[in-house]
Structure 1
Amino acid sequence: MVFGEIFFSILEIAGTVSFAISGAMAALEKKVDLFGVIVLGITTALAGGIFRDMLVGRVPPAAFSDGTYMKIAFVTSVIVFLAAWMFSDKYVNNIQVIDTINNIFDAAGLGAFTITGAKVAMSMGYMDNSFFVIFLGMVTGVGGGILRDLMIGEIPFILRKRIYAVASLLGGCIYYVLLSKNVADMTAAFIGIGIVFGLRMLATIFRWNLPKAFK
């Protein structure tokens, strides 16, 4: 395996861990049991990649053909549950801090999966189809979060606040443009992830939202 492939494998693992933490923490806020935390952690971590692979004709999706990511999401979710269980008083009394931590991991996962999703589209021969590359990056980034929110009875995060899908689209677009200008793949990936993560953090800090018809 060449260095570039190792880098993107690490990126996939980082995204999996980040989204598993985000999903597990969202589950804890709804006071579900251990099984629920594991299911939501795994769903958030893997669903975007499953949607991505189905769109490019990878059957079965990598989440099922390679159990590594499933194991990583499972272990991460269990660790989050055990940490919350052992320090339950501190967890409940610091819910705003927990929400901030959750948001950071969610933004990190969004950035990592946006870029890996776009990378998969290009590796499958769609480099000339800019729309599909950027769209697949977004689907990979937001797919798990959409399914997570629907499972816990929430309007999907991307439809209501904090410039979520827009950040993914912009990061994927920057990544694609940089590659088309012959910028090194890893450099373009770091910049794309930085755009997604930075925009999500700024949107959270300054309460940036897209316009709504009604207040």
Structure 2
Amino acid sequence: MAVGEVLFICLEFIGTVSFAVSGAMAALEKRVDLFGVIFLGITTALAGGILRDVIIGRVPPSAFADSRYMIVAGVTSAVVFLAALLAKDYYKNNVDTVNAVNNVFDAAGLGVFTITGAKVAIYAGHPENGFFVIFLGMVTGIGGGVLRDLMIGEIPLVLRKRIYAVASILGGIVYYQMFSQQFNDTAAIFAGAGVTFGMRMLATIFKWNLPKAFE
């Protein structure tokens, strides 16, 4: 197995774990049961990749062709539920800390999946189509979170708060520009994912939001 392929698989699993944690923690805030936590964790982790694969015509999508992704997402979500169950008093009394941890995992998942989505577009034979590469990276990064928010009855975070899709787009642009200029791929991956992650964290810390017509 080539080094690039190994790195891609590692990124996919890192993103899967990160978004599964984020989805499971969001589910816990809504006081759903064990199945709900696992289901929302899996949905958050895999929906973006499924949408990505459908767009490029990959059938069945990777999430169904390789059961490891679903198993990892499900186990991760179950572990989050168990941790919350065993430390429920801490969980209830430290909501701000829990939300901060959730945000870190969400930002990490966004950064990693933005890059894997971009790389899938390139692998699918579209290295010259920068718009498509960046778009597919964004779809992969935000797709799971959008579906998660809709399922828990929230306006998707991407539409209302804290630079989100914009962070994914910027990270995708950085990665694609470095790829186009033939930089080392590992360096491009870390730069693109780092920009996305960094923008999300800075937006949270400094409460950056895009302007709205009405407050």
TM-score range normalised by the length of the shorter chain: over 0.9
Distance apart, 1:2 and its partner CA? 1.1
SS of the residue corresponding to residue 153 of structure 2 reads coil
1:208 match: secondary structure: coil
1:148 aligns with: 148
Report the equivalent of 2:76.
Answer: 76
2:98 aligned residue: 98
**Match for 2:92: what amino acid?**
V
Q: How big is the shift at 1:8?
A: 1.1
Q: 2: distance between equivalents of 1:51 and 1:161?
A: 23
Unaligned runs of 5+ in 1: none
Cα distance, 1:58 vs. partner? Answer: 0.3
Aligned amino acid, residue 155 of structure 1: I
The TM-score, its normalising length taken from structure 1, stands at 0.99
In the TM superposition, what are the counterparts of 1:52-131 in structure 2 within 5 Å? 52-131=52-131
Any residues of structure 2 matched to 1:123-202 within 5 Å, and which? 123-202=123-202
Partner of 1:20: 20
**Within-5 A mapping of 1:15-54:** 15-54=15-54
Between the aligned partners of 1:162 and 1:8, the Cα distance in structure 2 is 28
- Supply the AA of the counterpart residue of 1:186: T
- Report the RMSD for the aligned CA atoms in angstroms: 0.4
What is the deviation of 1:4? 1.3
Report the Cα distance in structure 2 between the residues aligned to 1:69 and 1:29, rounded to whole angstroms. Answer: 24
> In 1, Cα distance between the equivalents of 2:165 and 2:3?
30
Distance 2:105 2:52 in 1: 21
Structure 2: which 5+ residue stretches go unaligned? none
Query: In structure 2, what is the Cα distance between the partners aligned to 1:141 and 1:82?
Result: 27
Poorly superposed stretches of 4+, deviation over 4 Å: none
Using the alignment, how far apart are the partners of 2:5 and 2:205 within structure 1?
A: 34
SS in 2 for 1:126: coil
Paired residue type of 1:24: A
Distance (Å, rounded) in 2 between the aligned partners of 1:2 and 1:180: 21
CA distance in 2, matches of 1:122, 1:26: 32
Question: TM-score normalized by structure 2?
Answer: 0.99
Report how far residue 133 of structure 1 moved.
0.4
SS at match of 2:171: helix
- CA–CA distance in structure 2, aligned partners of residues 186 and 155 of structure 1: 35
AA at the equivalent of 1:144: G
Query: CA-to-partner distance for each residue in 1:36-71, whole Å, 9 max, x for gaps?
Result: 000000000000000000000000000001000000
Q: Distance in 2 between matches of 1:203 and 1:80?
A: 25
